[in-house]
Amino acid sequence: MLNRKYLPVIVTVGLFLLMFAAGSLRYDGFFSFQVILNLLIDNAYLLITAVGMTFVIVSGGIDLSVGSMIALTTMVSASLVQEHGWPPGVVIPLVLCMGSAFGWLMGAIIHYFKIQPFIVTLAGMFLARGLCYVISLNTITIDNPFYTTMAQTKVRLPGGDTVSISVIIALVVVIAALYLAHYTRFGRSVYAIGGSEQSALLMGLPIARTKILVYTFSGFCSSLAGVVFTFYMLSGYGLHAVGTELDTIAAVVIGGTLLTGGVGFVAGTFFGVLIQGVIQTIISFEGTLSSWWTKIVIGLLLFLFILLQRLLSAKGRQAVRT
């Protein structure tokens, strides 16, 4: 029999295929490999952020600071490169270290002071967003040759289809996360802590180190997403990526990760992001619908997947009793 924990992921993949097939039947030019690649091009930064969020939610936590960290990364990058003349080779590693350190600090506060992740990361969200406006109240446009080259470069695939550098970065992150989650001690510890932190402690797993590393990894992913977002927008602005933290959580949950922790898959998150992209693409092909319909449909899907998770959890508890 199929393991119950795989059912949400199977539903996610089936939903993506169904929505893509529906779009292909309704709209000319929808059914093509380039359309799928365009989903990744437009959502590469969201995919990277969602990978980090997957580890956080699997561990039983939440991270509301990711959108603000993306904005702060764009502002710091734009300010240092454009206004202070720093080379990108110094700025990019610097902002990645900044995001990782920010995540490490939140993880340490969550673990050692026993404060709910929601409160700590909410404070981190306000702090990072506020720091954006300390740097500048206005948009800082980037015309550095390296950033413009990264934004305009297309990698040609067999068959003539093209992808951006950002997609390559996102796919590398997904592959690395798959290995990290399923083939390392760190990944196994994350799942164990999400399933039951007390049991993981009794098993002798490094609870403190793992929880802090989870938020450090999320901070790294959100700052890397900020670098990719900077390539995409060629600017820094304090209002960049507003609401991205909610889109990220939605993609992870739609991808089959339990909000209670312990169950989740990076592959499911990948398809959760693609589903959001398909919804956006269908609405753009329709032409007569407002972009807010994307939020409406994602909200409905989120409700459905939360109900599915609840039903599976209830059946699981009933099976244990019997």
Dump pLDDT digits (tens) for 240-284.
Answer: 999 999 999 999 999 999 988 998 999 999 999 999 999 988 888
Distance CA 312, CA 318 (A): 10
Question: From the CB of residue 2, how many other CB atoms can be counted at a distance below 10 Å?
Answer: 7
CATH topology of domain 4-312: ABC transporter involved in vitamin B12 uptake, BtuC (1.10.3470)
Specify the pTM. 0.94
pLDDT digits (tens, 9 = 90+) for 20-57: 999 989 888 888 888 889 999 999 999 999 999 999 99
| ∠ Cα 208 209 210 (to 5°) | 95
Distance CA 120, CA 116 (A): 7
Q: Where are the domains of the chain?
A: 4-312
Residues 178 and 55 sit within 8 Å (Cβ to Cβ)? no
Distance CA 274, CA 251 (A): 9
| Residue 141 Cα distances to 89, 234, 241, 244, 250, angstroms | 18, 6, 16, 21, 30
pLDDT of residue 320: 47
Residues 279 and 211 sit within 8 Å (Cβ to Cβ)? no
